[in-house]
Amino acid sequence: MKVLGSRELLADVLSKELCIGCGACVSLCPYFKSYNGRTAMLFPCTQERGRCFAYCPKVEVDLDEVSQKIFGAPYSMEPLGRSLSAMMSRAGKKAAGNNYQSGGTVTALMTWALLEKLCDAAILTGREGLNAVPAIVTNPDDVQNYASSKYTSAPTLEAFNRAADLGYSRIGVVATPCQVLALAQMRSNPMAKKDFSDPTSLVVGLFCTWSLDYRAFSRLVEGRVDIKDIKKFDIPPPPAEVMEIHTARGVIEIPLAEVRATVPNSCDYCFDMTSEFSDISVGVVEGRSAMNTLIIRTERGRAAVDAAVKAGYLEIEDMPSDNLARLRTAAGNKKKRALKKAAGEGIINTNGDSRSLIRMEPKNLAGI
Amino acid sequence: MSYLFDTNEGARYLMMGNDAIVRGALEANVNVASAYPGTPSSEIIENLSKASQKRNIYVEWSVNEKVALEVSFAASIAGLRSICAMKQNGVNVASDFLLHVALSGTRGGAVLLHCDDPGALSSINEGESRHFARMIELPLLEPGDFQEAKEMTKWAFELSEELRSIVIMRSVTRLSHASGNVILGKLGAPEGKAQFKYEAVPGDADSGPVITMPVPPHHALLQEKLKKAVAIFEKSPFNTYTGPAKPELLIITCSACNLYSREAVHLLNAQDRVGILKIGTTWPLPPKLIARHLAMTEKVLFVEEVLPFLEENVKVIAAETAAEVGIKQFYGKNDGAMPTINEMNPDIVVDVIKKILGIEYIAMDEGYANRAKGHLIARAPVRDLTFCPGCPHRASFWNLHNALAMDNRRGFVCGDIGCYTLGFLPCGFSTMKTSHSMGSGIGIASGFGKLTQFGMDQPILAVCGDSTFFHAAIPALVNAIHNKSDVIFVLLDNSGTAMTGFQPHPGTPLDARGGALPTIDPAEVCRSLGATVEYADPFDTEETQKKLLALMREKGARVLIMKQMCALSPEKKGKKRFEVKVDQQICRGDTCGCSRLCTRIFRCPGLVWDNKRQAAVIDEVICAGCGVCAEICPSGAIKKTEAGR
Amino acid sequence: MKAGNLIHDPYNAIITGVGGQGNVMASRILGNILSRKGCFVTIGETFGVSQRGGSVMSHLRISKQSVWSPQIPRGQAHIVVALEPTEAIRVLAAYGNPAVRVLSNTRPIHPVGVIAGELAYPSLDEIRTALGDLASDVALIDATDEAMKLGQAILGNVIMLGAVSGAGVLPFDAEDFRDVISETMSGDKVEINMKAFSKGEEMIRALRQK
């Protein structure tokens, strides 16, 4: 990938409303800031090559190049991405807490990682009202405060950048697919720094079909719910077609169609449902609300899961093949939809001076 | 300032034009003086207030020009002599009252002194107030040099009393702010007892109620006064002619242009060919005097600033007397010989006389001019206007800009005139998007704030200074609040009328002489109108931005007072709060992660770029020690320590 | 010179610098000195918003005959006194001529465009060359640096006035300077100003002897 500067980032991403607000460009310099779910550029910067561009998951990402760096192999069109194994999991007996979205796998794993010093800091995302707010967490007991799904897009990597700047060198990150892609680029040393070392020790990716624009979602929810009362969000399996907002006064349902209208455009181009560039990816299991799907992608991911199981923080089971097949179909459909849209708009593999959104082997696009 | 009190008649001083006006008013035994500050008029009241420490004069910095004129008018109808000073656009503010004063007439000598600013050297308009004299039907005087500025001021009071009319006197920047030698006249002791007599019938000039009705008879009386003025002006010593009896070219000029015309004739060595008719009484023009001079020549050139005021009025007389004086060839603004914008100078006058008379004159050798131009372009980098080092406005606009950018809804700032007008430039991060007359920022914002029904969803902010707040912002703020307009009003409170030299205003505890006065707190005013009021210190950038962002999430009229004293204020000037240093080892300079934020964007004159070391460095001579750059440095390379520790 | 004659009549002096350098103060002091010596003096100044980081220029017309225009005509300056060196170049482009003399401070004040990296600021050698190309006589002195040694950078303007006196182009000396400043300044202030003035006289003489 050719690393360019903030001018190009502005032209290719921000002004095209492709920014998802992941925070990858924030806290590196004084020019990019996250506020209320949006990333803003305060002033023009004159650097011709910048980390903001290098890390952004919505600039021209060369998928083969990133995949080579993370997996030592080119990008795979396999709907769930490259993986070593897939299973079901949940928090083990040693893990405390009960405010999980489903199986509590992520909370248990990150608690264990901090306890066992696999990670010197964990980058997690909490919630203030409807806003998703990232944090640098170093105390294992605090991890559970960040459990449960946020739904609004979050500038999680802003906290990651701060942690790296503070000198943490074994950072654990819990991230959505776009954030995991940005992390994969950061970990690839795109600025070709001489004394570079990967500051992450564990990247836990989440399954994600879309996120919500904080500002649009706020406008939708304000007046229906007292924001301070919100305990948890949930989207029950079909055919419910609602979002549940759990509050102290009961559950409020909002039709899913209205919620979907607040999904940012950017998500329409996302081809990754399961965080394909993570060490481990975690999501729900259809029909098994107390369990998680767990996909192990890298050796260091496998080592972490094995150790956490051994230590009693995680329990695992085999994944029924039906479930895996349905997951694969869903992920494949998302990939096809996104690539088709991008291809239709001519922003895959453009030539000459114009820059695309995605760069990948043309043969991968044959069936799209 | 000894010229203020020097009773030595005939003593000679080097004086600014404004000082000459002050001395003239003192020699006229002025009793009351009022003004709102405005460059280039402000020194008049400042120096009269110094004089008031030894003489019985009431001097007031009024809340705005209209009220200032009302204050000095009261003195006039109480039988005292009064002067009211303002800059050109101040006359617009005062004009409604002026229209009525013309009809009602005056008693004690009343002078409205306005200083125009051709070329807008210190203004955001090039308004010419002479037209008010014609429009409102009042006599207008224009001094042609420094001595005349004094003599004419003194005479203006006498003229006013003779006519029972307010007299307008017009100065310009190049007289008011220039200096020349002035010989003093007699300084008496101020006299006069103030009493408003109203016992006689309405319309009685000496002791009736002062009202403008019934209008037509009052209007007729006003026009009688102008006729009387014409008769006086025909013989006025302020209208002078210098030159041959039959000049090839007659220059008709007034004000500072008199000096430019004289200089030009001298440079061209054309004293035998060109005559200069300098008019001091420019409205109503004395037609016989004008006709007499028109008859001397075939060619007439008008030299004046800015619009063709003399030119058009003389042309009316020329048309009316054409049978007697003959048809003239006129050169001036209407035929394009002279510019109708910007200020004049001797070179413009030289160029036009050269062309008319076919005189050879080279101001600068072409080879020299080209070399000089080359050096200018290559070695004299342009100096853009910027906020002073340590100026609170730089920090305020930094906060406004960043909060608006983070909010990311294309919000903007409406402003008006003050030092903070520079907020539209890069030194204010180009944050201000409208700038007009005083108080108009909040007025325009009030209008923007009602456009939501047409889909407007941008946050709307208005800024104004603390003095401007009292001058003209309050009615607009009332309007915004009453009409439920969604605006944030930011008061940039730097504790004084900074731009014109720290004159007090109703929010400060001093009068023009430094005596104690009760203060009016803008915050209390805003609260009483029903606005929520927050405070912020703009030097605390993080906190201020947080407050702005929070206010932008709210609806309705909101007020934020950003309070920090002007860096040039007597309290702060020359005193550094912090010693500021750049650790050049830590400075990231022109690399990813900084890209020269402080020098490239923040641009304080006290923080410069060290090209050799590729890092920022403090210029100790210029740095005012505010410490804000230490707040904004992304790498912590700029260190501040409390000075004197 | 001390006899009170003028080399030219009117003698046209321009004092230039950047807002905040004490330009107006210097021109008024010089004007008052010469007015007291019986000259007609006219000073044209610009200040107000132009002070905010911009170029500030005072025109002095000194004459035994009459008042002159507060603006010097193009190409008619006899001396340019610059409190900031690039300002001397700017002034010469409008008012210079081959016979003009230049007395300039060496200390740069970077315009914001230079600070921001959009414009270049010339080296002192380039400035010297440019001034030499445009003036008959150029004297560059480190007025601000000397003023800082006296404890106040602002005294650079008084050092430059001392240099004007030392250059012998106008009929005034240190005592004339003392007379004028004593009217408005307290005793200790007068002394530090006298020191600065003498320093300027000294510096210009030392430069001449080289």
Indicate yes or no: CB of C48 within 8 angstroms of CB of B426: no
Mean pLDDT of B450-474: 95
**pLDDT given at position A360:** 82
Indicate yes or no: CB of C96 within 8 angstroms of CB of B368: yes
Q: How confident is the model at residue A97 (pLDDT cuts 50, 70, 90)?
A: low
Indicate yes or no: CB of B405 within 8 angstroms of CB of A41: yes
Of B164 and A350, more confident: B164
Indicate yes or no: CB of B594 within 8 angstroms of CB of A49: no
C77 pLDDT exceeds 60? yes
- Does B586 reach chain A within 8 Å, measured CB to CB? no
Q: Which residues of B touch C116 (CB under 8 A)?
A: 426, 599-601, 603
- Of A285-289, B582-586, C137-141, the poorest mean pLDDT is in A285-289
Option in C44, C49, C89 nearest B499 (CB): C49
Q: For residue range C105-120, what is the model confidence (pLDDT) as tens digits? A: 999 999 999 999 999 9
DSSP-derived letter for residue A128 is: E
**pLDDT given at position C49:** 53
**pLDDT given at position C210:** 73
Question: Are residues B149 and B111 in contact, defined by beta-carbon separation less than 8 angstroms?
Answer: no
Residues making up chain B, counted from first to last: 645
Extended beta strands in chain C, E state: 11-18, 40-45, 55-63, 79-82, 101-105, 137-141
Q: For residue range C81-101, what is the model confidence (pLDDT) as tens digits? A: 999 999 999 999 999 999 999
Two tokens, residue B255: 């004000």
Q: Which residues of A touch B459 (CB under 8 A)?
A: none
Q: For residue range C41-56, what is the model confidence (pLDDT) as tens digits? A: 999 987 655 567 788 9
Option in C50, C75, C114 nearest B363 (CB): C75
Find the closest chain C residue to B600 by CA distance.
Answer: C116
**pLDDT given at position A150:** 87
Q: Rounded to an integer, what distance in angstroms lies between the CA atom of residue A240 and that of residue C126? A: 79
Question: Are residues A123 and A171 in contact, defined by beta-carbon separation less than 8 angstroms?
Answer: yes
Interface of B with A in 390-429 (CB under 8 A): 401-402, 405-408, 429
C70-97 b/e (C-beta count within 10 Å ≥ 16 → b): bbbbbbbbbbbbbbbbbbbbbbbbbbbb
**pLDDT given at position B498:** 76
A368 pLDDT exceeds 90? no
Interface of B with A in 547-566 (CB under 8 A): 549
**pLDDT given at position A160:** 98
Burial of B291 (0-12, 13-18, 19+ CB in 10 A): middle
**pLDDT given at position B512:** 86
Option in C87, C107, C115 nearest B605 (CB): C115
Two tokens, residue B57: 């004069």
- Is B189 strand, coil or helix? coil
Question: Are residues B2 and C179 in contact, defined by beta-carbon separation less than 8 angstroms?
Answer: no
Q: Which residues of C touch B390 (CB under 8 A)?
A: none
Q: How confident is the model at residue C3 (pLDDT cuts 50, 70, 90)?
A: very low
Indicate yes or no: CB of B401 within 8 angstroms of CB of A47: no
Mean pLDDT of B484-502: 88
Find the closest chain C residue to B123 by CA distance.
Answer: C49
Indicate yes or no: CB of C114 within 8 angstroms of CB of B622: no
The residue among B458, B461, B450, B524 whose CA lies nearest residue B488 is B461
Q: For residue range A108-165, what is the model confidence (pLDDT) as tens digits? A: 999 999 999 999 999 999 999 899 999 999 999 999 999 888 899 999 999 999 999 9
Option in A29, A33, A40 nearest B593 (CB): A29
Contacts of C192 (CB under 8 A, 6+ apart): C150, C151, C152, C155
Indicate yes or no: CB of B595 within 8 angstroms of CB of A49: no
Question: Are residues B167 and B105 in contact, defined by beta-carbon separation less than 8 angstroms?
Answer: no
- Of A36-40, A300-304, C48-52, the poorest mean pLDDT is in C48-52
A34 pLDDT exceeds 60? yes
- Does B256 reach chain C within 8 Å, measured CB to CB? yes
Amino acid identity of residue A137, one-letter, is V
Indicate yes or no: CB of C73 within 8 angstroms of CB of B267: yes
- Tell me the nearest-neighbour CA distance from A244 into chain B, angstroms: 26
Under the phi-then-psi rule, with left for phi > 0, alpha for psi from -120 to 50, and beta for the rest, what region is A217? alpha
For chain A, what percent of residues have pLDDT higher than 90?
79
- Tell me the nearest-neighbour CA distance from B74 into chain A, angstroms: 53
Q: Which residues of A touch B601 (CB under 8 A)?
A: 43
Mean pLDDT of B81-96: 97
Option in A29, A36, A40 nearest B634 (CB): A29
Q: Kindly give the interhelix angle for C156-167 and C23-36, rounded to the nearest 10 degrees.
A: 40
Contacts of B290 (CB under 8 A, 6+ apart): B252, B314, B317, B318
Q: How confident is the model at residue B502 (pLDDT cuts 50, 70, 90)?
A: confident
Q: Which residues of C touch B599 (CB under 8 A)?
A: 115-117
Find the closest chain C residue to B420 by CA distance.
Answer: C49
**pLDDT given at position C48:** 52
- Does B634 reach chain A within 8 Å, measured CB to CB? yes
Phi, psi of B50, rounded to the nearest 5 degrees:
-65, -40
| DSSP state letters, B136-188 | HT--EE--SSHHHHHHHHHHHHHHHHHHTS-EEEEEEHHHHTSEEEEE-----
**pLDDT given at position C166:** 96
Q: How confident is the model at residue A99 (pLDDT cuts 50, 70, 90)?
A: low
Interface of B with C in 601-630 (CB under 8 A): 601, 603-605, 607-609, 619, 621-622
Option in A29, A42, A49 nearest B594 (CB): A29
Q: How confident is the model at residue B225 (pLDDT cuts 50, 70, 90)?
A: very high
Burial of C184 (0-12, 13-18, 19+ CB in 10 A): middle
Q: Where are the alpha helices (DSSP H) in C156-186?
A: 156-167, 174-184
